[in-house]
Amino acid sequence: MPRAGARSARPGPVGRGSPVRRTSRDIRTANRYQVLRQIIAASPTSRQELAAATGLSLATVATLVGELLDLGMITEVGFEDSAGGRPRGLVAVNAPGGALIGVDLAETYVRVELFDLALNVLARAEEDVRPGESRPEQVVGHVATAVGSVVARAGVEGARVLGAGVSMPGQVDRDTGVCAYAPNWDWHDVPLLDLLAGHIAHPLYLDNPLRACAVAELWFGAARGHGDAVVVNLGTGVGAGLVLGGAVHRGVSDSAGEWGHTTLVLDGRPCHCGDRGCVEAYTGAPGIMLNLRELSPDSPLLRADDQTATIDALARGVRAGDPVAVKVLERTARCLGAGVAGLVNLFNPEVVVLSSWVAAAFGEPLLDGVRAAVARHALRRPLAATRIVLSPIPTDPVCLGAATFALEGALQSAGKGAERRAVGNRR
C-alpha cells in the first residue's frame, strides 16, 4: 500500500522547518524537481540545455535525466544536430507515463481534475457540497465519487495514478493528515487523511489552497525559475503563498501565509477573524462588496450575497467604464497595493503574482491599479527588483497545485526507492 509511505512524506523540497533537517537527499530531490520542471516547460530538450537552464553540472543533469527515464516520466525523442559536434540526445516529458489527481475541496464544491505528466487536464468532475452536507464523511464521500469519476472518464488504469493531492481551506497538519480546524464546516481535529484513505487507494497529499497556488506558480507559472516569489491569493479570503529559496515556505506549524489578517487600517473595519482593519476586510470578495456598498448602497451591481455574481458585475462595469465600478476598483487596488508594497519591502522578491478568482475576474485593470499603488508605497530599491504580474495559469490553480504536490511526492518517494536499490546493489 503506497498510502502509509505517502502520508508521512513531506513533498516540499529542501525541508525548511529546521536547519537540522537539511540533507543532501533534500538537495537531490530539489534538483530532480528542477530538471523535470524544466523538461515540462521546454520539451524536447537536451541535457546541455538543461544544464544551462538550471545551473547544474552536466554530470548531475545526466544522472537526474537517467533517473527520470527509469521512472518512465520522460522519454528519449531522437537527436538534434549541434553545429559541428556530436548530435545531442533529446528528451521530452512522457505525458502518458503517469497520471496525477488534483482535488480542490472548497467551501461549497469539490472540483477534481486528472492530469497527465505534461499537466494536461484529461478529465474533470465537480460535486456540490450543500449546506447541511458538511460532515466529514459526507465531504469525503463527494471527493471519492469525483475521484472515481475522473479516473473512469480518463480511462487510465488505477496503477498509473501516481498520487492525489487534496487542497482544503483549513488548518491541516501535513504530517498526521489531521484537519485541526476548518471554520466553514466547523470541523475540529478531523482525521481527514485517514478518512480519504478509506476510499482512495492512491498516495494522498494534503495541503491548503494558498500553498497549492504557490506551488502551481513555482512549477508552471510566473514564479518558475525564481528563488523568491510571493503569490497573492485574492478570493473570498486573502493570503500570500511564499516561495523562498526556490521552495514553498510552510512555517513551524504549517500555517504560514496568512497575510490577509495583517493590519492595514488600525481600528478599521471589523474582520471575520475577530480583529479590525485587516487587509482581507478591504480586498477579499466580501470586503470589495462592502467597498461598493459604502460608495453606492443601492448599486444595481450588488447581487445580494452572491460574491461571484457581484465581482463579475463589477468587473464588467469596470470594462464598460461605469464610474461606480471604476471607483470601487480604485479603492480596492489602493488598499491591495499598500499591502503588497509591504510584502515587496519585507521579502524583496523577484516577482509578485496576483492569483485566484477575484484577480482573474478583474484582470488588467486591477493589475494596473495595484502596480500604481505599490509604486507609491514601496521603497525604491526593492520596488526596482520586483515584477508584479497576473497569474498566467489558465486553469484552476488549486487543482493544478494539488496535483503538483502529488508529483513532488512521487519524485521524492522515487528518490527513496533509488537509494534503497543502490544500497541493495552494494550488498
The footprint of Zn ion (CB under 5 A) covers 261, 271, 273, 275, 278
Binder of residue 24, out of Zn ion, a second copy, none (CB less than 5 to 8 A by kind):
a second copy
Closer of 148 and 286 to Zn ion (Cβ): 286
Closer of 263 and 307 to a second copy (Cβ): 263
350 contributes a contact to a second copy by CB under 8 A: yes
Q: How far is the CB of 188 from a second copy (least distance, A)?
A: 12
Of the listed pieces 10-18, 82-90, 138-146, 202-210, which binds a second copy according to CB under 8 A? 10-18
Closer of 15 and 363 to a second copy (Cβ): 15
Burial (Cβ within 10 Å: 0-12, 13-18, ≥19) of residue 243: buried
Position among 93, 114, 179, 264 found at the interface with a second copy (CB under 8 A) = 264
Binder of residue 171, out of Zn ion, a second copy, none (CB less than 5 to 8 A by kind):
a second copy
Q: How far is the CB of 188 from Zn ion (least distance, A)?
A: 20
Position among 75, 134, 345, 395 found at the interface with a second copy (CB under 8 A) = 345
What sign does the CA torsion over 136, 139, 141, 146 have?
Answer: negative
Binder of residue 27, out of a second copy, Zn ion, none (CB less than 5 to 8 A by kind):
a second copy
Contact between 363 and 319 (Cβ < 8 Å): no
Binder of residue 256, out of a second copy, Zn ion, none (CB less than 5 to 8 A by kind):
a second copy
Closer of 158 and 251 to a second copy (Cβ): 251
At 61, which amino acid appears? V
Rounded Cα distance, 271 and 73, in Å = 46
Contact between 382 and 345 (Cβ < 8 Å): yes
Q: How far is the CB of 268 from Zn ion (least distance, A)?
A: 10
Lookup: cell for 207? 495541503
Binder of residue 18, out of a second copy, Zn ion, none (CB less than 5 to 8 A by kind):
a second copy
Rounded Cα distance, 269 and 261, in Å = 12
What sign does the CA torsion over 55, 60, 65, 67 have?
Answer: negative
At 259, which amino acid appears? W
Long-range CB contact pairs, 303-312, < 8 A, 24+: 307/236, 308/357, 310/285, 311/285, 311/357, 311/358, 311/361, 311/362, 312/361
Residue 217 φ then ψ, to 5° = -65, -35
Position among 94, 171, 208, 236 found at the interface with a second copy (CB under 8 A) = 171
User: Where are the alpha helices (H) located in 155-208, listed in sequence order?
Assistant: 192-197
Q: How far is the CB of 341 from a second copy (least distance, A)?
A: 7
174 contributes a contact to a second copy by CB under 8 A: no
Closer of 110 and 264 to Zn ion (Cβ): 264
Residue 347 φ then ψ, to 5° = -95, -25
341 contributes a contact to a second copy by CB under 8 A: yes
Rounded Cα distance, 220 and 14, in Å = 19
User: Which residues 67-106 are close enough to bind a second copy by CB under 8 A?
Assistant: none
Q: Which of 390, 395, 355, 407 is nearest to 120 (CA)?
A: 395
Rounded Cα distance, 408 and 423, in Å = 23
User: Where are the alpha helices (H) located in 105-160, listed in sequence order?
Assistant: 136-154
Binder of residue 83, out of a second copy, Zn ion, none (CB less than 5 to 8 A by kind):
none
Q: Supply the DSSP symbol for 163.
A: E
Contact between 14 and 27 (Cβ < 8 Å): yes
330 contributes a contact to a second copy by CB under 8 A: no
Contact between 234 and 223 (Cβ < 8 Å): no
Strands 238-244 and 229-234: antiparallel
Q: How far is the CB of 247 from a second copy (least distance, A)?
A: 8
Q: How far is the CB of 237 from Zn ion (least distance, A)?
A: 9
Position among 62, 273, 326, 375 found at the interface with a second copy (CB under 8 A) = 273
Contact between 75 and 69 (Cβ < 8 Å): yes
Q: How far is the CB of 88 from Zn ion (least distance, A)?
A: 53
169 contributes a contact to a second copy by CB under 8 A: no
347 contributes a contact to a second copy by CB under 8 A: yes
Secondary structure (DSSP) of 21-59 = G--HHHHHHHHHHHHHHHHHHT-SEEHHHHHHHH---HH
382 contributes a contact to a second copy by CB under 8 A: yes
Q: Which residues pair with 205 in a beta bridge?
A: 165
Q: How far is the CB of 332 from Zn ion (least distance, A)?
A: 16
User: Which residues 230-259 are close enough to bind a second copy by CB under 8 A?
Assistant: 240, 242, 244-247, 249-259
Residues near a second copy (CB under 8 A) are 14-24, 27, 30, 34, 54-56, 171, 180-181, 226-228, 240, 242, 244-247, 249-259, 261-266, 268, 273, 275, 335, 338-339, 341-342, 345-350, 376-379, 381-382, 384-386
